[in-house]
């Protein structure tokens, strides 16, 4: 009887979809919550530093991509690239994630992190008139990152997971 059921209803596939959905929703939820906190508290407070300037919370509105890349582009081109193309890419990524069922867990997790982070930033682009809220800067001594957000961290972590999964030897079954 199990072979007659669509694969989405089989327990392992359903568990996989639920786990990946949870990762995506957690990324979006934490990202949006922290951005709203940053919007409410940081513009008036100014930069807040912790752990001897290792972590700085500072409010920034970023019309570009990660670390402001592309912020110099004309607004219609930014809308096309960072909203329309990004939205279509996220849809394609979601289809790939759901339709390809045989993939190492590290790849699945990486793709889910990328989709969750991308969706978090896309929500900002749509709701914040084309920009995303950034508020985190990390540093050690004279070295500092640009200002970023939780969605950017999820995307970066997802890319690292995909890179590691490409290097990890696959088990033969």
Task: Find all residues with CB under 8 Å of 113, minimum gap 6, and list them.
Answer: 23, 27, 154, 155, 157, 158, 161
Q: Tell me the pLDDT tens digit for each residue of 93-113.
A: 998 888 877 778 889 999 999
Please state the domain extents for the chain.
21-36+45-167
Give the residue-averaged pLDDT of 57-79.
89
Task: Find all residues with CB under 8 Å of 136, minimum gap 6, and list them.
Answer: 55, 56, 57, 145, 147, 148, 149, 150, 153
The H or E element spanning position 36 is helix 11-45
Q: Identify whether the C-beta of residue 144 lies closer than 8 Å to the C-beta of residue 93.
A: no
Task: Find all residues with CB under 8 Å of 94, minimum gap 6, and list them.
Answer: 115
Tell me the percentage of the chain whose pLDDT exceeds 90: 61
* Residue 152 appears among annotated catalytic residues: yes
* Residue 53 appears among annotated catalytic residues: no
pLDDT, greater one: 127 or 12: 127
Can you spell out the DSSP letters for 44-57?
HH--EEETTTTEEE
Q: Tell me the pLDDT tens digit for each residue of 141-161.
A: 899 999 999 999 999 999 999
pTM over 0.95: no
Which of 31, 108, 124, 152 is the catalytic position?
152
For residue 87, give both structure tokens. Answer: 């939205």
Which of 31, 108, 124, 134 is the catalytic position?
134
**92 has a pLDDT exceeding 50:** yes
Q: Supply the pLDDT for residue 85.
A: 93
- Rounded to the nearest integer, the mean pLDDT of the chain is 88
């Amino acid at each position: 009887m199990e072979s007659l059921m669509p694969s989405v209803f089989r327990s392992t596939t359903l568990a996989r979809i639920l786990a990946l959905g949870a990762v995506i929703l957690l990324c979006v939820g934490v990202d949006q919550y922290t951005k709203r906190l940053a919007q409410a508290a940081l513009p008036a407070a100014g930069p807040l530093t912790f752990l001897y300037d290792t972590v700085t919370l500072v409010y920034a509105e970023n019309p570009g991509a990660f670390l402001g890349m592309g912020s110099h582009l004309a607004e219609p081109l930014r809308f096309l690239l960072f909203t329309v193309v990004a939205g279509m890419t996220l849809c394609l990524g979601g289809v790939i994630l759901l339709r390809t069922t045989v993939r190492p867990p590290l790849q699945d997790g990486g793709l889910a992190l990328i989709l969750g982070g991308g969706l978090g930033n896309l929500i900002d682009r749509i709701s914040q008139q084309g920009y995303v809220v950034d508020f985190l800067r990390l540093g050690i001594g004279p070295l500092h990152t640009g200002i970023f957000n939780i969605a950017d961290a999820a995307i970066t972590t997802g890319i690292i997971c995909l890179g590691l999964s490409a290097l990890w030897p696959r088990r033969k079954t």
